Structure 1
Amino acid sequence: MKVKELPLSIYTAFRLRSLSQAKLHSTAAPRIPVIVSLTTIEARLAVVDLVIRSLLRQSVSPKKILLWVHESLMNSLPTKLTELQGKHFEIRSTHLHSSHKKLIHSIKLFPGKAIVTCDDDLMYRPNWLNLIYNESLSYPQHIIANQTRTITKDALGSYLPYVQWPVNQATKNNGMNILPIGAEGVLYPPGSLDPRFENEKLFMELAPKADDLWFKSMSLLQGTACRLAANRYKNAIPIMGSQKSSLKHINIKKDYNTAQWQQLVSFFELDIEPKRI
């Protein structure tokens, strides 16, 4: 987290926690037919209520907000989180430790609904859900993301390392080379992933720490295009101290994403023609 982000983070956290439960659950916001789904880890249990509060205060109201928590943590949930449960928000347990759980369980529970995933270390601005949902109305068959990378090959046709894939390039051609990044929010329409999306044995073998890459491979196998949202407004607000435990430190800084992508490409024989440089 950058030093310049601290004042806004502190102010937003204070403002969200000052809202009563009655205020949070008495929203008159229009309902939209989507499910918001996320997961969390033990290190963020003390702050994930801020994420939920920001989701409950959106300008539009989803059908449900689901938080997936490993079953071993269910008896350790703080009251400030559990007391937020109600008509629009529910906490569910899972045996999975990996971050893949933020999407796969919700798809199985609501197979006919669009699922919007988000992260557990950001406070989302009030118009966040409305913007990504409205964009999906124009591209109902596409996966829409507020943050992306463009899968890129060199002149010889070999994939460049993950860290060299450009960030937030506008969708070009058929969008098959666009990789949605989960942090700022991704909307998955019904049926956008190959049925093997829930194959625990496979994703733990091929991409155990890269759910974004796993879901990208599943969208490729299904023939689903991805695109960068055109109307993203402002970035979500980081929660102070929440980024100390992050897959980013492992996957990007140690370049594990490159290895996991190569494993997925080899196993599924993924055949796309990303932009070459």
Structure 2
Amino acid sequence: MKVIKELPLSILHSCKLSLISGTSKKILSKEKLPVVVSLTSIEPRLKTLHLVIKSLIKQEELPQKIILWLNNDLKPKVPKSLLKLQSSLFEIRYSELNCSHRKLIHTLDLFPNKIIVTCDDDLIYRKEWLSLLFKAHKKKPNVVIGNKTVHINHDASSNPLPFKNWRQPLNNIINPKSFLPIGAWGVLYPPNSLNQKVTDVELFLKLAPKADDLWFKAMSLLNKTNSIEAKEKAREPIPIIGSQKVSLKKDNIGKDKNTTQWINLSNHFNLASLILTK
């Protein structure tokens, strides 16, 4: 039912974005926020990815750079609709990795002292999306900020509950260390908010190969960085119809692999002690 309701809105915004140029002098000359926006994608979404990029280029306030990370094998398959958007603002880079973690880890290496905002590749972002995230950052400069979060809950024995029980704080008891930003709606990472292990490819492929959000949360906990949900946020991003047929969500949530991967991370790094210690 929700997909049917979203269809007219998705078609309308997709048509509007298809008509704009992403490389006009007016756009490229706009004053920029001190932010890098970083994302990744997969082959089934390449045909509609230009709509996502255009929604980022059409923000009220622009970032200094938008970087799209793709697997090396996709280089000959990138459509013209995406290639022609490349400019001083938007660039496509390639990686040997074939996992969603590449949306952030490579950009952290390139810009270790920059604010980095991640987003997804199957959503149209509202024009106020970036400016409101940056506004939230100025109020709370030392925390990771998500437009949407869940709350990691534990049982009486300090064991993490299944991911499906993370929607709200258990018994309405809020723990500031427990908020987990959901990447799809956008997450802002200030400089030095994540532990240096964040780029340890061998380790995250072992512990959380399909759960970049969980990996980044673990890395923030290791650096004693809290996460919060933005109080003032953009309207909900608009799904691009047909772009979500292939999704990690089906495995991570549908098959409860998020729970398994968080247990891996929690056991390896003793995360419960970091979250539950006052």
State the TM-score, normalized to the length of structure 2: 0.94
Which residue does the alignment assign to 1:264?
265
Amino acid across the alignment from 1:264: L
Question: Is the aligned partner of 1:240 residue 2:260?
Answer: no
Question: Is the aligned partner of 1:212 residue 2:219?
Answer: no
Shift of 1:233: 3.0
Which residue does the alignment assign to 1:193?
194
Shift of 1:272: 3.3
Shift of 1:25: 6.0
Which residue does the alignment assign to 2:180?
179
Cα distance per residue 1:58-103 (max 9 Å; x no partner) = 0001010000000000111000000000010000000010000000
Which residue does the alignment assign to 2:108?
107
Cα distance 1:181–1:34, how it changes in 2: closer, same or farther (>3 A)? same
Which residue does the alignment assign to 1:49?
50
Answer yes or no: is the 8 Å Cα contact 1:147–1:168 preserved in 2: no
Answer yes or no: is the 8 Å Cα contact 1:174–1:225 preserved in 2: no
Cα distance per residue 1:169-210 (max 9 Å; x no partner) = 9x9866211111100000000000100000000000000000
Cα distance 1:22–1:104, how it changes in 2: closer, same or farther (>3 A)? closer
Once residues 83 and 100 of structure 1 are traced to their aligned partners in structure 2, the CA distance between those partners, rounded to angstroms, is 26
Answer yes or no: is the 8 Å Cα contact 1:38–1:67 preserved in 2: yes
Which residue does the alignment assign to 1:142?
143
**What's the secondary structure of 1:193's corresponding residue?**
coil
Once residues 168 and 118 of structure 1 are traced to their aligned partners in structure 2, the CA distance between those partners, rounded to angstroms, is 25
Amino acid across the alignment from 2:200: N
Once residues 54 and 5 of structure 1 are traced to their aligned partners in structure 2, the CA distance between those partners, rounded to angstroms, is 17
**Deviating more after overlay: 142-151 vs 20-29:** 20-29
Once residues 230 and 98 of structure 1 are traced to their aligned partners in structure 2, the CA distance between those partners, rounded to angstroms, is 31
**Deviating more after overlay: 72-81 vs 147-156:** 147-156
Amino acid across the alignment from 1:259: T
Answer yes or no: is the 8 Å Cα contact 2:147–2:186 preserved in 1: yes
**What's the secondary structure of 1:264's corresponding residue?**
helix
**How many residue pairs were aligned?**
274
Shift of 1:27: 5.2
Amino acid across the alignment from 1:200: V
Answer yes or no: is the 8 Å Cα contact 2:119–2:186 preserved in 1: yes
Which residue does the alignment assign to 2:117?
116
Answer yes or no: is the 8 Å Cα contact 1:25–1:56 preserved in 2: no
Shift of 1:157: 2.7
The alignment-based identity, stated in percent, is 46
More helix per residue: 2
Amino acid across the alignment from 1:139: K
Once residues 21 and 189 of structure 1 are traced to their aligned partners in structure 2, the CA distance between those partners, rounded to angstroms, is 27
Amino acid across the alignment from 1:190: P
Answer yes or no: is the 8 Å Cα contact 1:148–1:168 preserved in 2: no
Once residues 168 and 273 of structure 1 are traced to their aligned partners in structure 2, the CA distance between those partners, rounded to angstroms, is 13
Once residues 172 and 187 of structure 1 are traced to their aligned partners in structure 2, the CA distance between those partners, rounded to angstroms, is 25
Once residues 241 and 263 of structure 1 are traced to their aligned partners in structure 2, the CA distance between those partners, rounded to angstroms, is 33
**Long gaps (5+) in structure 1:** none
Once residues 179 and 206 of structure 1 are traced to their aligned partners in structure 2, the CA distance between those partners, rounded to angstroms, is 17
**What's the secondary structure of 2:47's corresponding residue?**
coil
Answer yes or no: is the 8 Å Cα contact 1:25–1:86 preserved in 2: no
State the TM-score, normalized to the length of structure 1: 0.94
Amino acid across the alignment from 1:4: K
Cα distance 1:197–1:20, how it changes in 2: closer, same or farther (>3 A)? same
Amino acid across the alignment from 1:93: Y
Amino acid across the alignment from 1:165: W
Which residue does the alignment assign to 1:8?
9
Once residues 25 and 92 of structure 1 are traced to their aligned partners in structure 2, the CA distance between those partners, rounded to angstroms, is 25
Amino acid across the alignment from 1:132: L
Amino acid across the alignment from 1:33: P
Deviation >3 Å, runs of 4+: 21-25, 27-30, 171-174, 272-275
Once residues 153 and 161 of structure 2 are traced to their aligned partners in structure 1, the CA distance between those partners, rounded to angstroms, is 6
Cα distance per residue 1:227-266 (max 9 Å; x no partner) = 0010113100000101110000000010001110001011
Matches within 5 A, 1:117-132: 117-132=118-133
Cα distance 1:22–1:216, how it changes in 2: closer, same or farther (>3 A)? closer
Answer yes or no: is the 8 Å Cα contact 2:153–2:169 preserved in 1: no
